Structure 1
Amino acid sequence: MNKLEQLEQEAFENAVKVHNYYLGEENLKGIYIDGNIAINTSVDNGAEKACVLAEELGHYHTTVGDITDLSDSQNRKQERQARLWGYNKLIGLTGLISAFHAGCHSRHETAEYLGVTEQFLQECIDCYTEKYGEYAKIDNYIIFFIPNLAVMEEV
């Protein structure tokens, strides 16, 4: 089962319906409303669809109320929380370590290995940089976010 199928299964298990629907503009990729996720029909590849679905499931799990007004700081915080949920679901620190062990040497290879878009991977790295700083330690690994994504194993 690929990541998109896993997310669709999770949505199903949580009674969240996923619809392919034209949302009126190309820039709006997805939206979550009351147990329904609409993914724009302009999203036409599996990796991008998985990224959109992960964020919208993040809204299902973390968002309370209508947060469409992003001039409100509380709404921006909830938007960030939903995105972080999606990043952790599809990538996570352990996913970056797994990509390292798989021999991924570039962002393109890492994104492909993880089944996400390069843009989603970059946004994840940016978010992790805000959260952890220049690097994060997990078990005997150091994951550097700045200046470039890199993983080192401590011996």
Structure 2
Amino acid sequence: MTFWKPVAALAAAAAMSVSPAFADHHKSAKQKSDIVDTAIAAGSFNTLVVAVQAAGLEATLRSEGPFTVFAPTDDAFAKLPEGTVETLLKPENKDKLVSILTYHVIPGAVMSSDIAGKTLDVKTVEGSTASVDATDGVKIDGASVIQADIKTSNGVIHVIDAVIMP
């Protein structure tokens, strides 16, 4: 599938470009990594990391926060129609990419236990409202949280199985 060739090349380039930064941000075993370093270390968010870098959001997601990030996996990005990621990564589509990525972020650190049993609408960093249903697991705009409460130094990551759109 042609989707993976450009993404794999971009992911490899991103890995090379972030390796020195990762070394500089090396934490002792007792310190938590920030959202970006945690995503890089996990190895299943290569597309997300490349997109964050292309959108110019890396510094923000390394800042103090706190942020709650609903992080789509590489498999979630692969479910998008062929060519979508490549199109979004083009410089002329940066505003659209920023909009999509910031829709996956809410201010503050929200743990799954904070919302268990509730349905609510949350304001995203993008500015729109997303629907969260935590009555049976956790879903945001229909995407399921497949791993919750990954604590980082500047917030929390909840892994989701789909890319959500504003």
TM > 0.5 fold call: no
**Would you tell me which structure has more helix in proportion to its own residues?**
1
Q: Which has the larger radius of gyration?
A: 1
TM-score using structure 2 length:
0.29
Indicate the structure whose relative CO is greater, using CA pairs within 8 Å and at least 6 residues apart: 2
**Would you tell me which structure has more strand in proportion to its own residues?**
2
